A = this chain, B = another copy of it.
Amino acid sequence: MSEVPNLEERAAALDAVDELGKLREQFVLDDGTVYLDGNSLGALPSSVPGRVADVVEREWGRLRIRSWTESGWWTAPERIGDRIAPIVGAAAGQIVVGDSTSVNVFKALVGAVRLSGGPDAGRDEILVDSSTFPTDGYIAESAARMTGCTLRPTAPADIPGAVGPRTAAVLVNHVDYRTGRLHDLPGITAAVRAAGALAVWDLCHSAGALPVGLDEHGVDLAVGCTYKFLNGGPGSPAYLYVAERHQAVFDSPLPGWNSHAEPFGMRPGYAPADGALRGRVGTPDILSMLALEESLKVWDGVSVAAVREKSLALTDFFLECVAAHVPAGRVASVTPEVHAERGSQVALRCDGAAAVMDELIARGVVGDFRAPDVLRFGFTPLYVGFAEVERAARVLGEVLAR
């Protein structure tokens, strides 16, 4: 325990020079809690309650139907998409917000199979990240069934060797939800494209935590949620990225009236809109969507490179504090040591992890448990500080020393 004062001093010194540290003021947080679950539900940005009240009381309550035009409700999905774009390295006009991640995985994956030519062109196989968050696998199975493809679960690292002339599309997570492993987006994308197939990336655990570089790396399609590192609120709408080069032929399996070229023409025949809004479906859920729009304002002037730098410093420091505070052999990190392979979370395998997490939460350190035996701690660089990291590891050590 001799290292403890040293770690506390180190934490204080790191906080003192943290250029993102002042952003914490823009969130509703209490100093009694170390919130390390922003990778599941981001904290509330302070300006959101006022904005939501205005949407409900004035825009809905007083303007009512007029708000679809006068308050900009109708164009919110593409407008908010353009706010997300710089965070994931996309030029404007390629992202549209709406629906859940699962629904967007379906749109993207079926769209990708069709863009590849699909079974008619001899491409009848979809590869899916074998360690994926489950919903992607379930939806991929449905997409395969409905497009006449077979589904082959493949570890992300094995994808470059597995893609071939029969591959239509590949669905892979940028960061593994359980281990926090960051997969090689540039390399896998290049290999998939070289095989004539399309890659669909799930950015749920990377967007807002590290540079994604969608345009730079030639990604075809991507989806992501907005309630983790983007702090959009519980169940806030997800988004779909369709690279500009694919938009003119992107063929959505959910061609709702919001994606029509002339939605208020009320025409019996479908004609898709141009651009990203071809990925829209039905009427957008305005309350959740405008809460998200307000939340994203926190990002004004924030550098994703600085976020990544702090994220790695936070997870490095957490691993160091865990090594110092936790009795030997009680936990084992399943998160890669190497920076190039690490997202913005640390996952610790631990006997009795579910009960341990309950006790941590009771003591004010909030992470989450993922079956069967993982303690998961997410580090949101916009509002987590180094002293909190030290405290979280110290409390974990206390719980496991009992």
Chain A residues near B (Cβ < 8 Å): 28, 30, 35, 37, 40-41, 43-44, 48-49, 52-53, 56-57, 59-62, 64-68, 73, 99-103, 106, 110, 130, 133-135, 137-139, 141-142, 146-147, 153, 178, 225, 227, 233-238, 252-258, 260, 264-268, 270, 281-289, 291, 361, 366, 368, 370-371
Which of chain B's residues have a CB closer than 8 A to the CB of A62? 28, 30
Which of chain B's residues have a CB closer than 8 A to the CB of A99? 99-100, 103, 282
Which of chain B's residues have a CB closer than 8 A to the CB of A368? 65
> A363 CB to closest chain B CB, in angstroms?
14
| Contact in complex: A139, B225 (CB < 8 Å) | no
The copy count of this chain in the complex is: 2
Query: How many angstroms from the CA of A41 to the CA of B285 in the assembled complex?
Result: 12
Out of B52, B65, B253, B266, name the residue touching A146 (CB < 8 Å).
B253
Seed contacts A44-B56, A53-B53, A102-B254; 12 additional CB < 8 Å A-B pairs: A43-B61, A44-B64, A49-B57, A49-B61, A56-B291, A73-B235, A103-B282, A135-B282, A138-B260, A141-B255, A233-B287, A287-B288
Which of chain B's residues have a CB closer than 8 A to the CB of A43? 61, 64
Q: Which residue of B has the minimal Cβ distance to A238?
A: B282
- On whether A234 and B67 interact (CB within 8 A), knowing A49-B61, A62-B30, A99-B99, the answer reads yes
| Contact in complex: B266, A234 (CB < 8 Å) | no
Residue pairs across A and B with Cβ atoms less than 8 A apart, 17 shown, are A37-B64, A44-B60, A49-B61, A52-B287, A65-B366, A68-B234, A100-B281, A100-B282, A100-B284, A101-B283, A103-B254, A139-B256, A141-B270, A142-B253, A236-B285, A265-B371, A288-B288
Q: Which 4 A-B pairs have the closest CB atoms?
A: A100-B282, A102-B256, A102-B282, A234-B286
| Contact in complex: A100, B138 (CB < 8 Å) | no
Query: How many angstroms from the CA of A2 to the CA of B38 in the assembled complex?
Result: 69
| Contact in complex: A257, B134 (CB < 8 Å) | yes
Query: How many angstroms from the CA of A265 to the CA of B256 in the assembled complex?
Result: 33
Q: Which of A52, A101, A235, A252 has the most CB of B within 10 A?
A: A235
Out of B134, B265, B289, name the residue touching A266 (CB < 8 Å).
B134
> A291 CB to closest chain B CB, in angstroms?
6
> A118 CB to closest chain B CB, in angstroms?
12
Query: How many angstroms from the CA of A18 to the CA of B52 in the assembled complex?
Result: 35
> A53 CB to closest chain B CB, in angstroms?
6
Query: How many angstroms from the CA of A236 to the CA of B43 in the assembled complex?
Result: 23
Out of B101, B110, B286, name the residue touching A288 (CB < 8 Å).
B286
Query: How many angstroms from the CA of A93 to the CA of B230 in the assembled complex?
Result: 34
Which of chain B's residues have a CB closer than 8 A to the CB of A28? 57, 61-62
> A120 CB to closest chain B CB, in angstroms?
13
> A255 CB to closest chain B CB, in angstroms?
5
Which of chain B's residues have a CB closer than 8 A to the CB of A284? 100, 235
Out of B30, B44, B100, B267, name the residue touching A134 (CB < 8 Å).
B267
> A356 CB to closest chain B CB, in angstroms?
16
Q: Which of A48, A101, A268 has the most CB of B within 10 A?
A: A268
| Contact in complex: A135, B256 (CB < 8 Å) | yes
| Contact in complex: B287, A234 (CB < 8 Å) | yes
